[in-house]
Amino acid sequence: MKKIGFIGLGIMGKPMSKNLLKAGYELIVYDLNESSINELVQAGAEAGTSPKDVASKSEVIITMLPNSPHVKEVVLGTNGVVEGAKKGSIVIDMSSIAPLVSREVGSKLEEKGIRFMDAPVSGGEPKAIDGTLSIMVGAKEADFEECLPILKAMGASVVLCGDVGAGNVTKLANQIIVAVNIAAMSEALVLATKAGVEPERVYQAIRGGLAGSAVLDAKAPLVMDRKFDPGFRIDLHIKDLNNVLETGHGVGVPLPLSASVMEMMQALKVDGHGEKDHGSLVLFYEKLANIIVQK
């Protein structure tokens, strides 16, 4: 089995790395948060001292970081992965970042003889814990096949979407659909509540029809129970929608629905809800209608 380096032990990275340990992989980990490193060491991982150190001791290096600048710094910066990785090793960036940055990072690594894949995920913390994430991959087919067992230790669905960058284009498409779904669900449940119909009954009535979706089943019960602890924070979805709009404008695609939901999320952030789950989009509609959706 390949020795894996894992850099970035946040809400998603920590459970993903634990699933690699459960699958029997030897793991060396690094994060700016020492308590996260210690938790993984207790679970059986080795502690690294820097991205360079992790890369020098690994055949496959996985990064799971907040955004494009963090990936560039960790992979290409001082004491970065590029300084420690051996020729022929593979970097798998599982962060959700701008596709053009994925291609830039991949190109810089290729100059050093280091292979690269972008493999962003969908499913949030619950599926990261269960090891049932959806993983969208941009890579050469041979690299994809080589790393497929590693990815399957973290995800239930692993799909090769195209060359480097295609994974993050697919993730942006995913984030548009999730954001607009949550907004539509919120709008509908606020309408039902204000019109005097119990939202739980509305949810049960529509979930088996055309309006039913994984988003509806994941978020409607949490909204009605007033549970807004982050599986995926508003702040992170804002980051993804920024990448959506930037990419769309760069390739000449107007994105009116994405822009609308982005502004709703910006309003929630101003109201102090940026750390809450993206299901808290319902708070935007509740404020407009002066009503609360609950069981």
- The catalytic site residues sit at 171
As a whole number of angstroms, the distance between CA 91 and CA 68 comes to 15
As a whole number of angstroms, the distance between CA 105 and CA 92 comes to 11
For 51, residues 6+ apart whose C-beta sits below 8 A from its C-beta are 7, 30, 61, 74, 75, 79, 80, 81, 84
Q: Which segments of the chain are extended strands (E)?
A: 3-7, 26-30, 46-47, 60-63, 90-93, 115-118, 121-122, 133-138, 155-162
Q: How many residues belong to the chain?
A: 295
Closest CA to 243 of 74, 111, 97, 40: 97
